[in-house]
Amino acid sequence: MRRVTLTQFLIEQQRAGRINADLRLLLEVVARAVKAIAVNVSKGALAGVLGEAGTDNVQGEAQKKLDVIANEILVQANEWGGHLAAMASEEVETVCRIPFDYPKGGYLLLFDPLDGSSNIDVNISVGTIFSVLRNPPGDDEPQEQDFLQPGHQQVAAGYAVYGPATQLVLTVGNGVHAFTLDREMGSFIYTQPYMTVPEDTKEYAINASNARFWEAPVKRYVDELQQGKSGPRGKDFNMRWVASMVADVHRVLTRGGIFMYPLDEKNRDKGGKLRLMYEANPMAMLVEQAGGAASTGRERILDVAPVALHQRVPVILGSKDEVERVVAYHTGA
Ligand code: AHM
Ligand code: MG
């Protein structure tokens, strides 16, 4: 069987006029960084990379050593290629600038270097999430303001999941495509073209320990699912919660379902739990590109006008009918 590599896939996307040479290079470099992160994640205790780094990130959360390592790998891989105007990372408070001795390009790269890092020490899947925007013309030294573009302006988005296999899932606005890392060859092989979120679902993902903090529409929706066959939905639902958004969303993209980190009494002051620019927007683009839907409960995620780099939002995404139902419960439609 002929194997198509990520490199070949990207060259074909360029030939078809869907991406230019700079965006191709950008995605190649992100993929290379992801391979380096995968090596570190898979070595675990052998490389002494587990545990706390002894520092807090901008969100006031304790950083794991691998949070810091993954961030450094992404920044160092991307700063010299000439394709970026600047970067922003969930782990860094301000805009990451391109060192003055390297050329600058037209794109902005945003990432969550290691999502789900509370799972690292227990050997459960973690991931990297990224989003690509255009640098607004005329701004040579991008400021935070230049990054604050709504998610529908993303030109590419994707994630890597470091599970039993390492997979890279990406979109450039033409469907969702998945690649699996062949560790012996060191290359990503095209394994799932045009992923689609199955419409019919019997699976939901939410951290149910927060149930007492949820708003009424979420309580109602989950309560109806839990009533199973004898309730208004007339069928039984299964629940899954990995607590790595990448792994939970990967499952939704693969076999359907709904993923929710809604607004609740605990996270209301912050606006939600998950980050708009590094988590919600890229995942929303992927899910929409796969035929699903993504909402805050009150608004399409990709239409949220960002006000801050590290802004948080409620996230409800997955199979379209289910997301629309949760939105209807919120809006009373
Ligand atoms: P992180 O970026 O600091 O790892 O936090 C985001 C993660 C998501 O991957 C996951 O969906 C969520 O936090 C889990 O939160 P909780 O532990 O409250 O269930
Ligand atoms: Mg995260």
Q: pLDDT of 272-325, one tens digit each? A: 999 999 999 999 999 999 999 999 999 999 999 999 999 999 999 999 999 999
Question: Quick one: average pLDDT of 191-217?
Answer: 95
CB contact at 8 A, 165 and 183: no
Residue 54 pLDDT level (bands cut at 50, 70, 90): confident
Per-residue model confidence (pLDDT) at position 45: 64
Tell me the pLDDT tens digit for each residue of 124-162.
Answer: 999 999 999 999 988 778 999 999 999 999 999 999 999
* Mean pLDDT calculated for residue range 42-49: 74
CA dihedral over 307, 34, 102, 8, signed as positive or negative: negative
CA nearest ligand 1 atom 18, residue: 207
In the predicted model, what is the mean pLDDT of residues 258-264? 98
- Cα 26 to ligand 1 centre (Å): 27
Of 134, 83, 87, 94, residue with least CA distance to 111: 87
Going by C-alpha positions, the residue among 36, 29, 40 that lies closest to residue 78 is 29
Integer Cα distance of 158 and 169 in angstroms = 5
Q: Which atom of ligand 1 is nearest to the CA of 116?
A: 4
| Residue showing tokens 């006029």 | 17
Counting every residue, how long is the chain? Answer: 333
- pLDDT of 140 reads 79
Q: Which two tokens stand for residue 15?
A: 């030939």
Ligand 1 neighbourhood includes 61 CB (under 6 angstroms): yes
d(CA 7, CA 200): 34
- Is position 319 annotated in a ligand binding site? no
Strands 203-205 and 238-239: parallel
Give percent of the chain with pLDDT exceeding 70. 97
Calculate helix-pair angle for 245-255, 281-289, nearest 10 degrees.
10
Probe residue for ligand 1, chosen from 58, 89, 91, 207 as the CB with the greatest number of ligand atoms within 8 Å? 207
Burial zone of 140 (CB within 10 Å; 0-12 exposed, 13-18 middle, 19+ buried)? exposed
Ligand 1 contact via 210 beta carbon (within 6 Å): no
Nearest CA to ligand 1 atom 2: 115
- In contact, 26 and 132? CB cutoff 8 Å: yes
Task: Compute CA 143 distance to the chain's CA centroid, rounded to the nearest angstrom.
Answer: 23
* Fold annotation for 203-331: D-Maltodextrin-Binding Protein; domain 2 (3.40.190)
Any idea which architecture 6-192 has in CATH? 2-Layer Sandwich (3.30)
What was the pLDDT predicted at 117? 85
For residue 297, CA distances in Å to 106, 322, 331, 333 come to 33, 11, 8, 12
pLDDT value of residue 56: 75
What residue spans define the domains of the chain? 6-192, 203-331
Confidence class for position 67, pLDDT limits 50, 70, 90? confident
pTM: 0.96
**Which residue from 56, 131, 126, 64 is spatially nearest to 92, judged by alpha carbons?**
56
Residue 218 in this model has a pLDDT that exceeds 80: yes
Q: How far is the CA of 2 from the centre of ligand 2 (A)?
A: 36
Contacts of 67 (CB under 8 A, 6+ apart): 53, 57, 91, 113, 114, 117
207 within ligand 1 shell (Cβ under 6 A)? yes
> Which ligand has its closest atom nearest to the C-alpha of 251?
1
pLDDT of residue 192: 97
| pLDDT at 48 > cutoff 80 | no
- Among the bound ligands, the one closest to the CA of 128: 2
On average, the pLDDT of the chain sits at: 94
More confident residue, 242 or 50: 242
Does the annotation place 266 within a ligand binding site?
no
Q: Which residues pair with 177 in a beta bridge?
A: 170
| Residues of the chain above pLDDT 90, percent | 86
pLDDT exceeds 80 at position 241: yes
Q: List the one residue out of 146, 127, 168 whose CA is nearest residue 84.
A: 146
Q: Is 245 in the pocket of ligand 1 (CB under 6 A)?
A: yes
At 88, the pLDDT band (50, 70, 90 cuts) reads: very high
Distance (Å, whole) CA 247 – CA 251: 6
